[in-house]
Structure 1
Amino acid sequence: MLRRYQWWVFGAFCLVTAGILFLRLWTMLPLYLDNDLRTRASVLIQATVAREGWLSSGVSLKQISSEGAVLLYTSHHRGRDLVQCYSLSFTTGQLSSCPQ
């Protein structure tokens, strides 16, 4: 049988996990709600991956809005993998480095 403090620890763990999932869902909400945005983003990201010569498995979507997306690209080399942040504009299709 679980003790009272173990239930508190379990409850706190569940709340933290739910909070993290909620924050991730909130940043990707436009992608889930807008079919046109989802289609444009998919086509533009695939075109950018092909143009830059990236592996699509190295690209992850950090944030999305109607104006553009923030992409993280991990170049897979020997040793430590380098993660680079890029901003992709949906209007121009241009890729630029994220402001630091």
Structure 2
Amino acid sequence: MELLLLQEPYELEGNIVTIKISNGASEASFEKFRGDLLMALRDGLENDSVLLKSEIVDVAREKMLYTDKEKFEHLKKKYPALKDLQERLGLDPEF
């Protein structure tokens, strides 16, 4: 879990490092090793004024496509030539 959190995006503003966490459940895990990470950063950078904080950000999620019709409609939006092909061949995505 710690490795996944360390791969999250971060921002550096002055001497403040802000870790962008994608969900609230991960924040508890982050707080468990936050002190060790902060000490490692301060020792590695030889800078005792480094601060570490976390911020929960909302991640936009796409609508899940479940039926064949939903999948085909999505593909038609992505590839407009499919609409023409559907009309020419008389395809029915629900068949």
Normalized against structure 2, the TM-score is what? 0.25
The answer to which structure has the higher strand fraction is 1
Structure showing greater radius of gyration is 2
Normalized against structure 1, the TM-score is what? 0.24
